[in-house]
Amino acid sequence: MTPYKILVVTAVDAEAAAIRAGLDPDLIVVDAVGVGPAAAAAGTARLLATGAYRAVISAGIAGGFAGRVPVGGTVLATRSIAADLGAETPDGFLPVEELGFGSSVLECDPVLLKALSATLPHAITGDVLTLSTVTGTQATADRLADRFPEAVAEAMEGFGVASAAAAASVPFAELRTISNAVGPRDRSAWRMAEAFAALRAAAPALIIS
C-alpha cells in the first residue's frame, strides 16, 4: 500500500503541540525527538523504521539572519546545511567536503518545496543551517552570513532529519518560524509568542495532497 501519512519532526514538545493542534492524525504524525542533529537523526530514523510515510518535514522555531527574514516570519528551506561539520584550521573553518569525508549539504525535495511554497506564499525560501551550538555573538553571525549568502535561518535539527530521510529514500523538507535574529544571545529580544503563532498558522499547509 502506498504511504499516505506525512511525518513532521520537531525538537521539543511545545513545537509539536503547536503543529499538532487541529490537524488530523490520520494524515499527519507529529513527534518531538529531541534537540540537536544526533537526536534528530536517531529519532527520525526510528520513526521511519516503524511506519510508512510519504514525506518527512523538520519543523520548529529558529533564529533568522537579520535583513533576510523578519522575526515572526516563516522560512522554507531549499537546502539543509550542517554548517559546523568540518575542521578548524589556522586559516579558518574547513568544511567536510574539503576533508573528503562526504557532504554537509542536503537538498530539500523540490516537489515538496514547491507544494509547501504554494500553500505558504509569504514564506521566505533559502538555506537553513544546522548547528550543534547556537550562534551567540555578532562575529559568528557575520562569519556564517558570509559563508552562506543564501542562508535565511539557523536551527539545530534539520540536517539530522534530512540525513535520516535520505537514508530511507523519503522526500524531505524543512519549515521554520523565526523567534529571534541570529547573533548575540539576548533572550529579552526573543519573540517566542510570535514564532509559535506563526508555527500554528503554518501547520495546516503541511497537509499536502
CATH of domain 5-199: 3.40.50.1580
Q: Residue 10 in 3-state DSSP? A: strand
pLDDT of 178 over the 90 cut: yes
* Residue whose C-alpha cell is 510570535: 194
Mean pLDDT of 167-191: 92
- What letter does residue 203 receive in the DSSP assignment? G
Residue 189: C-alpha distances to residues 10, 16, 124, 153, 186 (Å) = 23, 23, 21, 16, 6
Which tens digit of pLDDT belongs to each residue from 78-125? 999 999 887 888 887 877 777 778 888 999 999 999 999 999 999 999
Note the pTM of the prediction, 2 decimals. 0.92
Q: Helix, strand, coil % (nearest 5) of the chain?
A: 35, 30, 35
Domain ranges of the chain: 5-199
- Residue 1: the pLDDT is 43
Predicted confidence band of residue 3 (pLDDT cuts 50, 70, 90): low
- Residue 57: the pLDDT is 97
Q: Which residue has the higher pLDDT, 73 or 184?
A: 73
The residue type of 134 is: V
Mean pLDDT of 136-163: 95
For 177, the enclosing helix (H) or strand (E) is strand 172-181
Q: Distance between terminal CA atoms of the chain?
A: 17
The residue type of 185 is: R
> Do residues 161 and 56 lie in contact, with contact meaning Cβ atoms separated by under 8 Å?
yes
pLDDT of 42 over the 50 cut: yes
> Which one, of 1, 6, 9, 2, lies nearest residue 174 by Cα?
9
